Structure 1
Amino acid sequence: MLFLRLFILALLLAAPLQADYLYKTLLLRAAPGKLLNLIELYKNRMDFYEAAGDEKPFIMRHSQGDQWDLLLLFPIKNYRDYYSPSRIESREMAAREIQVDFAQKFKEYVAWHEEVVVLGASLAEVQKSFTGMQFFHVEMFIALPGKHDELYKQRQMENTYLEKLDRPQNLIFTHDQGAAWDIFTIGCYRDLKHFAESADIAEEKEEEAARHAGFEAANRIGTYLRTLIHQHHDTLAVAVK
């Protein structure tokens, strides 16, 4: 009986820890010539979110990488509160008074969009990571069948590796509903120079950090990741203020 209890405990400890704060992620590609209009549309929408009682989104703009122009991360906490009758009523009231032509403008300015609802760290933790940061590294993954938990663990291991090197750790978000992405991560940096500082880290420190995190070696981090994923998109982005 004691062995069985210890075995169950080991399984629980080995299971990935899933965060429980919900975020709606909106990816947008602007219609030709409409990117600045689209950015302005959302910058002017902050009064709507405030009137509706919703948290304002974190917004970033594509610099290099994937096809989207904007990524908006909306904190919604949980479905029960976000879709409560009172919150829905507040949004409907705000929509009648603020940016009443928003839906029409959205259709005019957007060529493609995709939504995925994800679970992530608490809003306080995400706000702390974003504070003062202007440059972001976004990695989006679709796991191979049966590799979802191992991919999540790999993302945690990479954060342990980054922590050992005194580098910013990635925010990890996991799929709940919507588009096909199983996991995406956001690394937050002051600027491009801050992001590129990893190039100056001594090889010996990288090797030590990799083994500490559970990797075979520093140059095996990427190859191990590729045994877990069906698809992987990288994007560098900058903050929209």
Structure 2
Amino acid sequence: MRIPFLLALSALGGGALDTPSAAQQADPHIYRAVFIRAAPGRLLDLIDHLKIRREVYRALGEPEPLLARHSQGDHWDLLLLEPVGSLPDFYAPERQARCDRAAVEAGITTEEWSRRAELMVAWREELFVAGPPLAEFQERNRDVGFYHLEVFLGLAGKRDSLLNQRRMENQYLAAIGRPLNLIFTRQAGAAWDLFTLGFYRDLQHYAEPTAVSVEKQDAAAISAGFESRNHIGSYLRRFLSAHHDTLLSRVP
């Protein structure tokens, strides 16, 4: 049986390299991130094709993946971030059978949907990550239309420090009244060690300046463990082998 495109299980090699948060340790929720570059001239066709699959998730009673379109930054076109829960449950034969039945009821078999999707995709990269509880993810994703994604590849021996820096930066953001980033840590798949995702109403919300004074920003940075607010970025770079930023708009 052919494993469907965008539902195929990647070869799972190795465990997570970073220590997950307390919430993730207690009840880890797995997500599947797929970065996709469309074939030339096929982006809008691919978006429409991916949206067809939403009917299958609804029929299964499962949360729909977040689908967002690249605005500027990395070289791919689309992010698909799918709440998985647990890999054994997600890829259980019983669930796959229900998924196939739901696809038929939606008007296109899983195999045919996958075949057509392959014709529209030039490149893709897939990563399984441990992320926040599903309820937190869904609440953050409610009524937003813009995202800031940062993906990170840590230096050897520095991945724990990289994860800690992202948590420190969230502490700083909370202190100055800015939205916190959700943190996702690698479990299997592509090389990236972790990524963070910020949720905003729109570009203006993302770009708006903080009303907090420079002095209070510095105090917040120091309280979070940084030397000052101007040292947040340079401190992060101590732990990085690679780092990509991408701004994205939600696909309705």
Return the TM-score normalized by structure 2. 0.86
Amino acid at match of 1:33: G
CA deviation vs aligned residue, 1:41-65 (integer Å, no higher than 9, x gap): 1112111222345421011110000
CA-CA distance at 1:172 after TM superposition: 0.2
1:88 aligned onto 2:92: no
Task: Map residues 44-59 of structure 1 onto 2, 5 A cutoff.
Answer: 44-59=52-67
The DSSP-based 3-state class of the residue aligned with 1:159 is helix
- Which residue in the other structure is 1:17 paired with? 21
- Which residue in the other structure is 2:70 paired with? 62
2: distance between equivalents of 1:80 and 1:60? Answer: 27
RMSD over aligned Cα atoms? 1.5
Q: Return the structure number with greater helix share.
A: 1
2: distance between equivalents of 1:213 and 1:129? Answer: 23
CA-CA distance at 1:201 after TM superposition: 4.1
Contact 1:142 1:229 (C-alpha < 8 Å) held by counterparts:
yes
List gaps (5 residues or longer) in structure 2.
1-18
Task: Map residues 159-178 of structure 1 onto 2, 5 A cutoff.
Answer: 159-178=170-189
CA-CA distance at 1:199 after TM superposition: 5.6
Q: How many residues align?
A: 227
CA-CA distance at 1:240 after TM superposition: 0.5
1: distance between equivalents of 2:197 and 2:133? Answer: 14
1:42 aligned onto 2:67: no
- Which residue in the other structure is 1:133 paired with? 144
Contact 2:74 2:246 (C-alpha < 8 Å) held by counterparts:
yes
Contact 1:54 1:76 (C-alpha < 8 Å) held by counterparts:
no
Task: Map residues 143-222 of structure 1 onto 2, 5 A cutoff.
Answer: 143-198=154-209, 201-222=212-233
1: distance between equivalents of 2:241 and 2:58? Answer: 39
2: distance between equivalents of 1:16 and 1:57? Answer: 22
CA-CA distance at 1:133 after TM superposition: 0.9
CA deviation vs aligned residue, 1:185-239 (integer Å, no higher than 9, x gap): 0000111111112365431121011011111111111001000010000000010
Contact 1:51 1:90 (C-alpha < 8 Å) held by counterparts:
no
- Which residue in the other structure is 2:234 paired with? 223
2: distance between equivalents of 1:189 and 1:142? Answer: 24
Tell me whether 89-98 or 166-175 shows the greater mean CA deviation.
89-98
2: distance between equivalents of 1:30 and 1:86? Answer: 31
Change (3 A) 1:192 1:177: same
Contact 1:116 1:179 (C-alpha < 8 Å) held by counterparts:
yes
- Which residue in the other structure is 2:14 paired with? none
CA-CA distance at 1:102 after TM superposition: 1.1
The DSSP-based 3-state class of the residue aligned with 2:206 is helix
CA-CA distance at 1:83 after TM superposition: 1.9
Return the TM-score normalized by structure 1. 0.90
